[in-house]
Amino acid sequence: MRRRGLVLVCWAGALALLAPHATGVERVLETAARVDGSESARVEAELASRFRAPFAQYALLVVRGGGSPVTPAGRELVDSVVGAVVAVPGVAGVRGYRDARDTLLLGRDSSGTFVLVGLDPAAGRPDAIVPQLRSATAALTRRLVGRFPLLELRWTGETVLNADLRQASRASARVAEQRALPLTLALLLLAFGSLLAAGTPVVSGVLVIVLALGASGMLATRWPLSILLQSFVSMIGLGLGIDYALLSVSRFREALAATSDPVQAAAATVRSAGRTILLSGLTVAVGFTALLAVPLGELRSVAVGGLLATGFAMLVGVTLLPALLAWLGRRIERGRLWPAHQATGARWRAWGRWVTRHPVAVLIAAGVPLVLLAWQATRLQTGLPRGDAWLPRRLESVVALRDLEKMGRGAVPQTVRVILELPGRQDVLSRDGWSAARGLRALLARDPRVAATLSFTSFQADRPMSRLVFFTLSGDVRRSYVAADRRAVLFDVVPRERADARDLVGLVRELRAVAADAVTGLPGARLRVGGLPALRADYDDAVRRRFPLVVALVLGGTLAALFIGFRSVLVPLKAVCLNLLSVAAGFGAVVLVFQDGVGAALLGLEAPLDAVFTIVPTLVFCTVFGLSMDYEIFLVARVAEARRSGLDERAAIVEGLAQTGPVITSAAAVMVVVFAAFTLGDFLVMQILGLALAVSVALDATVVRVAIGPALLALAGRWNWWPGIPGGAR
């Protein structure tokens, strides 16, 4: 308070420094999925370095409406497309239909074709080239529309699809923010009754988002961060920024009513609400810190974004906001729309007295339905949903996938890339090396899920392997499939049409379990498996393996933080158990809506899912656990404060509910609005996350914290604070 002017100046400087980075954050965030240290990542790196393959990373350009590529006009069109694309900076190579040997590049019944475009990793992030590729083909379409009025050029492939999905996620988040802010302001007006008091938390939330995104943008220039970070910074920054400001404004108005000095009132706010904010922020940070244990670029990026948003929300809540409140003083009541009234506190006191008198009845009435909903979580199935109905249908890359399916080439983007590493000084063109390669190729070709096994002939028709063919190939094709030292060879395994993504993940796992020396006859031979199905397998394995560790870290960290904050054993244990109940209820709602289809049509889902994405439980658990702990801390901190003032246990619970009930319900309503806004988009992952978070927070605030929690406090009595009683109160 003595240096509040300096505080305001420092925050203005921070905003001036970080805001420019926030506006350009999308340009530095990655869109590609990444599993750090995984086999799929090693295969991709090896193809780009050891093989010097121009198509280690590639995009597919689907050409439709230009006539058959076997005709002179069609071949001329393909040549024009190749010429336009190869001129784009960052393109390592382009291969289009040339003759009868390129049958894989030709659609069924010659209905269309696609062009394979290699992306040069040395030119920067592959996804950064996608806008330039689209710009080049858009210009080409405009130039050729006179000759080919039905011409359609669409991009797809793993890199393009990832870029589109994550951009769609960000666009969905931006729309959700635009929906949430007006509703949030309306809820805060109901809570405070004045425009300035309601607007202060909204400004705080927006400020936290800008600061956190700006800091993320600065970090992303040094370390790779996923664009998924943006959505979580928006959700967490807005929610926590508003929650902590709402608590501070409420305590400030309360203190201002007891003293005429705004500075003293702001100082009292920091002493009371500040400690609660710091303890609450610490528990939220525990959840995001645990995500760092999962070696996924996306989850670690979410962790970084969540930690930055939480940190800025805490700092704004305990420094900037009190300084602003001291300056505003009684002007915080400006723009009052209706007279202030005290009826709300009286109603909460009446509710608190009823709960403390009938704790068992409250536990039965509130707990049984919640436990029944939470029990549905036992049916939660995780994995990649079968089919592709979960993909947003309006994305260009998704439309192009449909085009490939019509051409009978829909499985090409699912190609599995297998590297055979020969032992010792073996050469793939030697008798033993050649025999080993043929043995592996035969094994791959026998699998009923495989349509073609390609090597030495690039993306051409599947032909018998011949050492003579190798010497007739162009240099870029040889480099694509044989390592420079000729001790490793690549096989591109093209699945059968309509191959299920989950079955291909199973194929990857089976190939990784193959005894390479038995198949090749060479002791010491090794197989490495990459490609999109391998990435999905690594992604799934990384999340499943680390989920128990994440849960243990969150539970242990939260218990430790609450024990330090409250000097109690029972309070942390109760809080953690109730949080687990809230999280399970959120998962139960996901099962009912997305797996059973209850109300799914309202969210635009055409049919129930057989599984939800593997990443969802981890994200929901870490996010909800910290956020719902906010309300536990708000309530218990106020009860403990009342105990220190000399009230007995039941009176302290009643007082705590009367003072924090309005804050908890208002803060939770804001969170629910923010999360629910994400369920209305067309990006399924964010819809599932939004529903799980909204249901968990809503039930936590309306059932757990204001009914079950106080009832348990009443039953435990003075044992709540064992091994000590706050302030020595008796």
Q: What is residue 99's predicted lDDT score, i.e. its pLDDT?
A: 58
How far is the C-alpha of 202 from the C-alpha of 249, rounded, in Å? 12
Q: Where are the beta strands (DSSP E) in 110-174?
A: 113-119, 152-156
pLDDT digits (tens, 9 = 90+) for 484-496: 888 888 998 989 8
Q: Residue 690: is its pLDDT beyond 90?
A: no
- Of 314-323, 412-421, 422-431, 674-683, the poorest mean pLDDT is in 674-683
Kindly indicate the confidence band of residue 344, based on its pLDDT and cuts at 50, 70 and 90.
low
Mean pLDDT is highest, among 106-115, 157-166, 311-320, for 311-320
Give me the chain's average pLDDT, please: 85
Question: Position of tokens 């506006």?
Answer: 23
182 compared with 587, residue with greater pLDDT = 587
Q: What is residue 729's predicted lDDT score, i.e. its pLDDT?
A: 43
Q: Residue 275: is its pLDDT beyond 70?
A: yes
pLDDT digits (tens, 9 = 90+) for 523-577: 889 999 999 899 989 999 999 999 999 999 999 988 888 888 888 888 889 988 9
pLDDT digits (tens, 9 = 90+) for 183-224: 888 888 887 888 888 888 889 999 999 999 999 999 998 888
**In DSSP terms, which residues pair with 420 in a beta bridge?**
489, 527
Residues of the chain above pLDDT 70, percent: 93
How far is the C-alpha of 567 from the C-alpha of 573, rounded, in Å? 12
Q: Residue 316: is its pLDDT beyond 50?
A: yes
Q: Is 115 left (phi over 0), alpha (psi -120 to 50) or beta?
A: beta
pLDDT digits (tens, 9 = 90+) for 708-722: 989 999 998 888 888
H or E element that contains 512 = helix 501-512
Question: Position of tokens 């040549």?
Answer: 79
Kindly indicate the confidence band of residue 460, based on its pLDDT and cuts at 50, 70 and 90.
very low
Q: What is residue 730's predicted lDDT score, i.e. its pLDDT?
A: 38
389 compared with 702, residue with greater pLDDT = 702
Nearest to residue 693, comparing CAs of 616, 632, 630, 631? Answer: 616
Q: Residue 629: is its pLDDT beyond 90?
A: no
Q: What is residue 280's predicted lDDT score, i.e. its pLDDT?
A: 86
DSSP summary character for residue 386 = S
Return the percent helix, strand and coil in the chain, to nearest 5: 70, 10, 25
Q: What is residue 457's predicted lDDT score, i.e. its pLDDT?
A: 43
- Of 348-357, 578-587, 668-677, 692-701, the poorest mean pLDDT is in 668-677
Q: What is residue 215's predicted lDDT score, i.e. its pLDDT?
A: 95
Q: Residue 727: is its pLDDT beyond 70?
A: no
Nearest to residue 434, comparing CAs of 460, 459, 470? Answer: 470
Per-residue pLDDT averaged across 126-135, rounded? 87
Kindly indicate the confidence band of residue 473, based on its pLDDT and cuts at 50, 70 and 90.
low
H or E element that contains 60 = strand 58-64
pLDDT digits (tens, 9 = 90+) for 593-602: 999 988 888 8
Per-residue pLDDT averaged across 143-172, rounded? 84
Please report the domains of the chain, with CATH numbers, ordered by start residue.
1-30+194-337 (1.20.1640.10), 49-160 (3.30.70.100), 397-536 (no CATH)
DSSP summary character for residue 358 = -
pLDDT digits (tens, 9 = 90+) for 18-63: 999 998 887 788 877 778 888 998 998 888 788 877 777 889 999 9
- Of 39-43, 562-566, 643-647, 681-685, the poorest mean pLDDT is in 681-685
Q: What is residue 297's predicted lDDT score, i.e. its pLDDT?
A: 86
How far is the C-alpha of 240 from the C-alpha of 254, rounded, in Å? 21
Per-residue pLDDT averaged across 388-397, rounded? 77
Q: Residue 141: is its pLDDT beyond 80?
A: yes
Residues of the chain above pLDDT 90, percent: 27
Which positions ≥6 away from 358 have C-beta within 8 Å? none
Whether 283 contacts 314, CB under 8 Å: no
Q: What is residue 591's predicted lDDT score, i.e. its pLDDT?
A: 94
Q: What is residue 371's predicted lDDT score, i.e. its pLDDT?
A: 94
Whether 241 contacts 321, CB under 8 Å: no
Which positions ≥6 away from 560 have C-beta within 8 Å? none
Q: What is residue 358's predicted lDDT score, i.e. its pLDDT?
A: 92
